Amino acid sequence: MARLIDSAAMKIRAAALATAVVLASIPAAAQWRNISKEGLPLGPDGKVNMSAPAPRTASGRPDLSGIYQSSYRYFANLAADLGLDKVPMTDEARKIHTARATGLLGYEEPDAHCLPQGVPKVNMAPVPFRIVQTDKLVVLVYEAFNLWRQVHLDGRDWADDLNPSWMGYSKGRWEGDALVVETRGLNGRQWLDHGGLPASDKLTVIERFRRPTFGTLEIDITINDPTYYTKPWTATPKLRLVPDTELFEFICNENEKSRQHMGPHITGPQSTPKQ
């Protein structure tokens, strides 16, 4: 897992197993030669002009295609801009979040067991993801855990009884220059962020993807979960295009060494804690 590092602090937080903070990206040149720069707006210095206008498809829609990287700020706290004190949590939700935020329950975070991060947390993972856009289907390919999502734009609707899943079932529509994606059918086992904002199986996530410039992707994320929040609330992470890299293989269980540091409960209730 070339992008990951290990540290005592992340062991304490426990989710280091799956998505430790990325300190540096490995250049794509380490894996590929002669990577094409076709279609990239280059400045006089030969570097990509990240402030150039966003590209558009033949149909006139913004072209969201590309590889993007989030800031660890939003992975750690989805409400980083809003402020945790302004998140409309129920009393139960605040109790859960307060307990998780200490880091002492990190072994309960799904990432710590190599389970999917779920929506919307996977968008903020500290490894990049790729958007592949067509007229009727948008696919998000995540380096984290080798996960993927399908966003259907063909007018289909959800079934009455969705099978609960980690990544949910997503359909989208265009509203002006924004791709609006609604996801239902989530299983309620995911954390909304590394800090432990809770989610239930009543969660619905609405994402508005916008590309204001060539090098920027903004996602308005609206959380609607009546179990843990008294009303819907929104966060707007800003991601950057990463034009000089590729996605790498991410095999979470390979050479895994973090679980033994996560506390006695990780081995099961009948096990004797190691001294």
Secondary structure element (H or E) that encloses residue 92, with its range: helix 91-101
- β-bridge mates for residue 235, sequence order: 221
- Phi, psi (rounded to 5 degrees) for 12: -60, -45
What is the DSSP secondary structure assignment for residue 12, as one 8-state letter? H
User: Helix %, strand %, coil % for the chain, to 5?
Assistant: 20, 25, 55
- 14-47 tens-digit pLDDT: 344 333 433 334 444 467 777 888 889 999 998 9
Closest by Cα among 235, 163, 226, 230 to 192: 235
The pair of three-digit structure tokens given for residue 193, joined into one six-digit string: 């962020």
Quick check: 4 pLDDT over 70?
A: no
Distance from C-alpha of 11 to C-alpha of 16, rounded to nearest angstrom: 6
Residue 209 and residue 218: Cα distance in Å, rounded?
6
Structural domain spans, the chain: 8-28+54-267
pLDDT digits (tens, 9 = 90+) for 129-161: 999 999 999 999 999 999 999 999 999 999 999
Per-residue confidence (pLDDT) for residue 273, from 0 to 100: 42
Q: In whole angstroms, what is the distance from residue 273 CA to residue 265 CA?
A: 8
CA of residue 240 relative to chain centroid, distance: 14
pLDDT band at 268 (very low <50, low <70, confident <90, very high): very low
196 backbone dihedrals φ, ψ, rounded to 5°: 105, 20
* CB 170 within 8 Å of CB 141: no
Token couple for 235? 């966060």
Least confident range of 63-67, 131-135, 150-154, 253-257: 253-257
Can you give the pLDDT at residue 49? 95
Higher pLDDT, 239 or 19: 239
**pLDDT computed for residue 272 by the predictor:** 44
Inform me whether the pLDDT recorded for 264 exceeds 90.
Answer: no
Residues ≥6 apart with Cβ < 8 Å to 134: none
Residue 207 has pLDDT above 60, yes or no: yes
The CATH number fitting domain 8-28+54-267, selected from 3.30.160.60, 2.40.128.20, 3.40.50.620, 3.40.50.300? 2.40.128.20
Number of H helices and E strands in the chain, helices first, is 4, 10
Q: Residue 129's beta-bridge partner residues?
A: 68, 142
> When comparing pLDDT for 265 and 18, which is higher?
265
pLDDT at 119: 97
User: Which of the pair, 107 or 187, is modelled with greater confidence?
Assistant: 187
Is pLDDT of 109 > 70?
yes
